[in-house]
Structure 1
């Protein structure tokens, strides 16, 4: 197995009599941005939680490189309200790391001026930036994202999507993103997977060029995704 590959071998997951994932065979490249789409209840978040080690499969095996550093972001920023933005990010630093490293992550997510503010003093987008910086401070190689921008307004969401694309050009960073938003998938994804009834129903690969949602290629890809999700 490649040191950047994660492999699902006939993975099934059930809760009581309900089967959420069914004999799933899937190989993920930890260097890509893989986007998982599907209707509510199709198993997207369960797949992500299996990747994170927060759930164990009912049957099958999951192989991932032992030295792969995972981080996770949720729909909520999950910042500690009694800590400043800087202090929240510092929690992600590995043991023995230079505390000044926080300055690098603050700058990367454009929160240098907000370093001394508390979470309630930050906008929703700023809170998610702080959460992303804390995850990056862990030296994560693969970030698992469970609809982290879902609660944000359209413009803030679009800004963070573009910032995340720019960030991936600077860092050796892979992502597995769960979303219901087709446009978000097209903007961020290298590989798009549609999950239906616990199985991979279809997939698309997108070229790495700048993503213009009005370009003929992405319009065609969007039509194909919407048809598969219908």
Structure 2
């Protein structure tokens, strides 16, 4: 169980969280919903260790490997899809796995093209593929399906759920349909943080 206990987080005069607590059960899917500016990304950044709460603590992450799809693709623009993905592959087995994921996402024909020439939706899929290739216990997804059409989004969600089966997944999204397709518990921060 990953727990956020009595978290307070402020930026100057803006209080994003005040005495906020959350339990993320091991091996389950939790979908964070809420309007822009509600604190979804801040919450994820605290779980990643990129930001610290002003008050409170986070437990249950000790020894856990975290993989992330950020809101921004964070790809290496001067490199090909293959080079971007090889940057996280440590073995030939991972490279085979990479091809299976790319094929599942419909990107196998683009493997030797520079990511800069790919559409935004294709770049999103490369970022998803990269996150699934590393060894992880906890998968954090910050609006990972943004820019994908409905059919591609469904394919990507199905693939993520297959690849991350049995691991803890935390999804941040504005889209209730994505939360439904992920099949996890939905936590609406708009209602939770009144």
Instruction: Settle same-fold status: TM greater than 0.5.
Output: yes
Asked if 1 retains the 8 angstrom alpha-carbon contact of 2:28 and 2:166, the reply is no
Aligned residues: 191
Q: Does 1:179 align with 2:168?
A: no
For residues 83-122 of structure 1, what are the structure 2 equivalents within 5 Å? 83-93=79-89, 97-110=90-103, 111-122=107-118
Q: After TM superposition, give the deviation of residue 107 of structure 1 in Å.
A: 1.1
What is the CA deviation profile of residues 165-213 of structure 1, one whole-angstrom value per residue up to 9, with x for unaligned ones?
A: 3434xx44321111010111111032111113773x7xxxxxxxxxxxx
Q: What residue is the counterpart of 1:21 in the other structure?
A: 17
Asked if 2 retains the 8 angstrom alpha-carbon contact of 1:90 and 1:137, the reply is no
Asked if 2 retains the 8 angstrom alpha-carbon contact of 1:42 and 1:198, the reply is no
Higher relative contact order at CA 8 Å, sep ≥6: structure 1 or structure 2? Answer: 2
Q: Secondary structure at the match of 1:139?
A: coil
What CA distance in whole angstroms lies between the structure 2 residues aligned with 1:109 and 1:30?
Answer: 28
What is the CA deviation profile of residues 49-73 of structure 1, one whole-angstrom value per residue up to 9, with x for unaligned ones?
A: 1111111001001112322110111
Greater Cα offset, 174-183 or 142-151: 142-151
Q: Does 1:137 align with 2:137?
A: no
Q: Secondary structure at the match of 1:109?
A: helix
Q: What residue is the counterpart of 1:147 in the other structure?
A: 143
Greater Cα offset, 56-65 or 119-128: 119-128
Asked if 2 retains the 8 angstrom alpha-carbon contact of 1:106 and 1:133, the reply is no
Q: 1:126 aligns with which of 93, 107, 122?
A: 122
What CA distance in whole angstroms lies between the structure 1 residues aligned with 2:99 and 2:114?
Answer: 14
Structure 2: tracts of 5 or more residues without a match: none
**Structure-2 change in CA distance of 1:184 and 1:176 (3 Å):** same
Structure 1: tracts of 5 or more residues without a match: 202-230
Please report the RMSD computed on the Cα atoms of aligned residues, expressed in angstroms: 2.1
Q: What residue is the counterpart of 1:37 in the other structure?
A: 33
Q: Secondary structure at the match of 2:171?
A: strand
Q: What residue is the counterpart of 1:214 in the other structure?
A: none
Asked which structure has the greater CA Rg, the reply is 1
Q: TM-score, normalised by structure 1?
A: 0.75
Q: What residue is the counterpart of 1:189 in the other structure?
A: 183
